[in-house]
Amino acid sequence: MADQPGAGQLAGIGQEAALAQPVPASYTAPESFHGRTVSWVAVSIIMAGFLAGGLGLVLGPTWWLFWAGGAMVVIGGLLALGTHIFDDWY
């Protein structure tokens, strides 16, 4: 145990130089892109379907709610594929 450093012994090693570097004047922050609205709607439908299906299994099981949740997942997945959700990657 004597060879281990204490709490304050490693705090300043190398961190001050990395944080103190100036930002060049020509730097511009990258533009943020969070996807299209239709992509978020498709993901929301899929998540709601998983939630409904999960609740259908926990509460009962209530099979009609489980299968309705499964249908929502399929509909959301088809919407995602039909609107090319994977093209939203930057």
Q: What pLDDT score was predicted for residue 65?
A: 97
Q: What pLDDT score was predicted for residue 29?
A: 75
Q: What pLDDT score was predicted for residue 74?
A: 98
DSSP assignment letter at 59? S
pLDDT at 76 over 90: yes
Q: What is the H or E stretch that residue 71 is in?
A: helix 63-82
Q: Is 65 part of any domain?
A: yes
Domain count across the chain? 1
pLDDT per residue as tens digits for the range 8-65? 555 455 555 555 567 777 878 777 778 889 999 999 999 999 999 999 999 999 999 9
Q: Is 26 part of any domain?
A: no
pLDDT at 73 over 90: yes
pTM reported for the whole predicted model: 0.65
Structural domain span for residue 85: 36-90
Q: Is 16 part of any domain?
A: no
Q: Is 77 part of any domain?
A: yes
Residue 85 vs residues 39, 42, 68, 69: alpha-carbon distances, Å = 6, 9, 23, 21
